[in-house]
Amino acid sequence: MSLADRLWQQNQALVAEIRVHPFVVALVKGSLPLTNFQTYIGQDAFFLEAFARAYSIAAAKSANQQDFEQFHQLADGILAELKLHASLATRWQIDLRSVQPNPATHRYVDFLTAIAWSQPLGAIAAAMVPCMRLYADLGQFWSQRGYAPQPYGEWVETYADPAFDSLAQQLEALLDRHGTEAIAAEPYTYALTCERDFFSAVGTA
């Protein structure tokens, strides 16, 4: 079993909790209040900008062309995701320019930024994989169990897309290539905890 697979399996209790988090359930069932969805998109866009920067820092730290190119390709994927957020922001009247991070978003961004600047590639990948793998998992999990097409069905469809899973697999391959259990286990679990806290902070009511 690969390192990425082992870490994912070791954190299944946390994954199971997030799959049925009240925010996630309300989102996929279409009952999430619009104000909460607006808050979520704003906070997520703020976070994704930091995520894209972390990819760029990892690319700059890469010692070979293959890693350099892969991290930049993954950054391009995040930029595409930010375009989706921009389109949603326009549709739902969200001013992304005025977003201020809440404490959970701030904590997650600070953690990711600190890891990116101070740690080797294996630790950076470990801090980033949970976001990608979790969202792919949530998309697949809820696409199989049923979701409301409106008003937020596009969210499930985006993350259930095999193309998004492919991006997660690319990052997991980088984790397997550069990581060890000793340097990856703690940031991996902390990042998943940040994901749960992020959903809790944007709420359901």
pLDDT band, residue 87 (cuts 50/70/90): confident
pLDDT, average across residues 103-119 = 97
Measure Cα distances from 117 to 55, 86, 108, 130 in Å.
11, 27, 14, 18
pLDDT, average across residues 130-147 = 97
Domain that holds residue 93: 3-202
pLDDT, average across residues 5-21 = 98
pLDDT, average across residues 150-176 = 94
Total domains in the chain come to 1
Measure Cα distances from 97 to 46, 77, 121, 205 in Å.
9, 21, 31, 24
Residue 134: what pLDDT? 98
pLDDT at 82 over 90: no
Residue 97: what pLDDT? 82
Residue 204: what pLDDT? 67
pTM given for the model: 0.95
